[in-house]
């Protein structure tokens, strides 16, 4: 079992739920909190340790909950505050932690704070948001661009000023240089922590601070026509500013007022900049989410180099983490292909650090095809035609082969993927050789073997399609061998004395098999092997 000194967020597996798409309990076609509560036994059976919910707060749903109108209440679409309290209590009874999605960078334009701020230039909350006079020609104050296309400035004719929005115009950015804003967000955190929430995943945290001189962002010399419009500029003055770390440290101080809680950060940055978000003396986020695998080339040497660079960049004591799927990127099974999805599962669950599993990836849900008339994602609507829509990875969870895949008795808010009659929890849970059971066994292995939960990472080989590495702690050493291609591979260790047995194979048919200085991998196969301690090299 895992060592007593490790924290739950280090040894555990986090499971991300997109609440709109997990389980509908009131037959309106949209998932809700009571639906999640109903499925807690499934999550306990799967073996995960914590669930992270995408936003469930009061919202006009311009960006499906990432535009918050009240930080301390639940949107009626998902239920009410009592439902969330019940979910927190029930999750804890099922030995599950519950993490909420905190969105501190911006609010909805319907939030009372913004309504007040917009009412007049003299309102006490005017400086809670970022307001600027028009440029000399009457246009936006500078060239800053929205992540969702177009200028990041929206004009308010009532007060004759522009307000700044990193995302939609319906999502005005808060002014985190204002101490009153920080105090208000700290109070939001205390509200939920006091109700028993086990932590937060902080959305878009690297955007919190903007340049106080409002200088133009530089042109991106690498921008190509047809790319995302936002990439025409380098966000030098609108993201990842040095002052953001002070704001995060303040949030961490609030979190540390409560025992055994976690602060996680959503940060899409290169590894060398990402690791700064652990903070000085590790007083930033407990870990910034590492999204490198979401866009990595699926090839052994490329992945080995990525892992080595990440491990080398981590600050002393910084805990790693890995993500292979989320609500913003195409589905894992579609990215790596159905033949490699088992190898991907084994990689995610055996690398050093905390894995986050996106709902449905444990059954191999594919990126669903979304017809133009079915598009709901505001990103796709604002920047159409270049394939950046996120609806395809947010479709309803496929529970069984009945109408609407067991998600709802009504027509769901997004279409069910075409393969739901074969790819669903009910059918795959009956097949001990399925991907679902592979995830269950992998999660169970992490609990039983301290080397997998807490051990060091030691690269061994990355050649052609073969990726080999050790995980070890004290006297336990585990070897992971992954074949990232379709052809068989013969593996040998001429320089090492190796013996042991197979703990788990990708196809669930080699457990207990003895291994020595040479063994074979079939195409698209992975093996997890426990090596004999008395034969290990020194």
Give catalytic residues, as residue numbers. Answer: 203, 257
Give 525's Cβ-side CA count (13 Å radius). Answer: 20
Cα 521 to Cα 392: distance, rounded to the nearest angstrom: 33
What is the arrangement of strands in the sheet containing 131-132, beginning at the earlier edge strand? Answer: 131-132, 161-164, 153-156
φ/ψ region of 360 (left if φ > 0, alpha if ψ in -120 to 50, else beta) reads: left
Residues whose CB is less than 8 angstroms from the CB of residue 204 and which lie 6 or more positions away in sequence, other chains included? 103, 105, 106, 166, 167, 266
Compute the C-alpha angle 283/284/286, nearest 5°.
90
Residue written as token pair 């086990």: 198
Cβ contact 485:524 at 8 Å = yes
Sign of the Cα pseudo-torsion (241, 246, 249, 254, in order): negative
The DSSP 8-state label assigned to residue 173 in this structure reads B
Alpha helices per DSSP H over 1-96:
8-11, 33-38, 40-46, 81-93
Following DSSP, what letter does each residue of 453-468 receive, concatenated?
Answer: HH-EEEEEEEETTEEE
Reduce the DSSP state of residue 184 to 3 states and report it.
helix
Q: What is the DSSP string of 344-368?
A: HHHHHHHSSSEEEEETTGGGTPPPP
- How far from 458 is each of 307, 325, 352, CA to CA, in Å? 10, 25, 10
Half-sphere exposure of 88 (CA within 13 A, CB side): 16
Q: What are the tokens at 115?
A: 């309504």
Task: Collect all residues with Cβ–Cβ distance below 8 Å to 143 and sequence separation of at least 6.
Answer: 216, 217, 233
- What's the DSSP call for residue 129? B
Other CB atoms closer than 10 Å to residue 208's CB: what's the count?
Answer: 29
> In angstroms, rounded to a whole number, what is the distance separating the alpha carbons of residues 50 and 260?
13
| Torsion angles phi and psi, residue 19, rounded to 5 | -55, -35
Q: Which helix (H) or strand (E) holds 278?
A: none
């Amino acid at each position: 079992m895992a060592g007593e000194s490790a924290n739950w967020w280090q040894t555990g597996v986090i499971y991300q739920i997109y609440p709109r798409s997990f389980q509908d309990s009131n037959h309106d076609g949209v998932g809700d909190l009571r639906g999640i509560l109903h499925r807690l036994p499934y999550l306990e059976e799967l073996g995960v340790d914590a669930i992270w919910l995408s936003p469930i707060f009061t919202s006009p749903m311009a960006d499906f909950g990432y535009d918050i109108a009240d930080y301390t209440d639940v949107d009626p679409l998902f239920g009410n505050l009592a439902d969330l309290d019940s979910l927190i209590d029930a999750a804890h009874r099922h030995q599950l932690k519950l993490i909420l999605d905190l969105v501190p960078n911006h609010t909805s334009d319907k939030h009372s704070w913004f309504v007040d701020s917009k009412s007049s230039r003299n309102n006490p909350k005017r400086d809670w948001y970022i307001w600027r006079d028009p440029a000399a020609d009457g246009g936006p104050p500078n060239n800053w661009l929205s992540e969702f296309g177009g200028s990041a400035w929206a004009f308010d004719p009532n007060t004759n000023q522009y307000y700044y929005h990193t995302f939609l115009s319906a999502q005005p950015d808060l002014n985190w240089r204002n101490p009153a804003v920080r105090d208000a967000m700290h109070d939001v955190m205390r509200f939920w922590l006091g109700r028993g929430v086990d932590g937060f995943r902080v959305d878009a945290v690297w955007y919190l601070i903007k340049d106080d001189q409002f200088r133009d962002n530089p042109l991106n010399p690498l921008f190509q026509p047809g790319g995302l419009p936002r990439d025409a500029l380098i966000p030098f003055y609108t993201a990842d500013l040095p002052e953001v770390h002070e704001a995060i440290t303040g949030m961490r101080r609030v979190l540390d007022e409560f025992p055994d809680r976690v602060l996680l950060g959503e940060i899409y940055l290169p590894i060398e900049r990402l690791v700064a978000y652990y903070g000085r003396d590790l007083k930033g986020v407990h870990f910034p989410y590492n999204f490198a695998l979401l866009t990595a080339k699926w090839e052994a040497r490329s992945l080995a180099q990525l892992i080595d660079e990440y491990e080398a960049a981590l600050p002393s004591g910084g805990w790693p983490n890995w993500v292979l799927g989320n609500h913003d990127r195409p589905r894992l099974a579609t990215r790596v292909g159905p033949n490699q999805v088992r190898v991907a599962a084994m990689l995610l669950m055996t690398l050093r650090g905390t894995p986050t599993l996106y709902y449905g990836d444990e059954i191999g849900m594919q990126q669903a095809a979304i017809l133009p008339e079915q598009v709901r994602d505001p990103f796709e609507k604002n920047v159409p035609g270049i394939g950046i829509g996120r609806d395809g990875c947010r479709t309803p969870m496929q529970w069984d082969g009945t109408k609407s895949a067991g998600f709802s008795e009504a027509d769901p808010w997004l279409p069910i993927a075409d393969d739901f009659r074969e790819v669903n929890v009910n059918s795959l849970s009956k097949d001990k050789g399925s991907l679902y059971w592979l995830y269950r066994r992998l999660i169970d292995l992490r609990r039983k073997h301290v080397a997998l939960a807490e051990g060091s990472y030691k690269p061994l080989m990355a050649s052609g399609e073969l990726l080999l590495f050790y995980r070890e702690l004290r006297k336990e050493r585990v070897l992971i061998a992954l074949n990232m291609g379709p052809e068989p591979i013969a593996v040998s260790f001429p320089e090492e004395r190796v013996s042991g047995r197979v703990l788990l194979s990708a196809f669930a048919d080699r457990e207990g098999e003895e291994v020595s200085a040479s063994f074979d991998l079939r195409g698209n196969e992975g093996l997890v092997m426990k090596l004999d301690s008395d034969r290990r090299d020194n």
